[in-house]
Amino acid sequence: MNEQDRPPRRTAANWVLAGLISAFGMVVFVATVLDGRADSALLFVLLPTALAATLALLPGRTAHGRVFVVTTIALLLAAVALHEGAVCVVLAAPLVYAVSHGTTALIRALRDASRPYAVIAVPLLLLPGLEGSGPAPRLAPDQSVEVARVVALPADQVAARLAAGPRPVPVRSVPLRLLGVPTPGQVSGDGLDPGDRWMFGYHGSAHGPGGHLLAEVETVGVQRVGFRFVEDSSITARWFRWRHATLSWRAVDERHTEVRIRVDYTRGLDPSWYFGPIQQALLGAGTGHLLDMMALR
What's the whole-number average pLDDT of the chain?
A: 83
Closest CA to 79 of 126, 28, 34, 27: 28
CA distance 26 to 85: 19
Q: Which residues contact 165 (CB under 8 A, 6 or more apart)?
A: 187, 188, 189, 190, 191, 198
Would you place residue 217 in the very low, low, confident or very high pLDDT band (cuts 50, 70, 90)? very high
Question: Alpha helix locations (H) across 57-85?
Answer: 63-82
Rounded to an integer, the average pLDDT of 25-54 is 77
Instruction: Answer yes or no: are the C-beta atoms of 161 and 295 closer than 8 Å.
Output: yes
Would you place residue 92 in the very low, low, confident or very high pLDDT band (cuts 50, 70, 90)? confident
- Per-residue pLDDT at 256 exceeds 90: yes
41-58 confidence digits (pLDDT tens): 666 777 888 888 888 888
Torsion angles phi and psi, residue 79, rounded to 5: -65, -40
| Pairing outcome for strands 186-188 and 197-201 | antiparallel
- pLDDT recorded at residue 1: 45
Would you place residue 85 in the very low, low, confident or very high pLDDT band (cuts 50, 70, 90)? low
The CATH number of the domain covering residues in 142-293: 3.30.530.20
CA distance 227 to 224: 10
Q: How many CB atoms lie within 10 A of CB 115?
A: 10
Per-domain residue ranges of the chain: 12-129, 142-293
| Pairing outcome for strands 240-251 and 197-201 | unpaired
Coil, strand or helix: which one is 257? Answer: strand
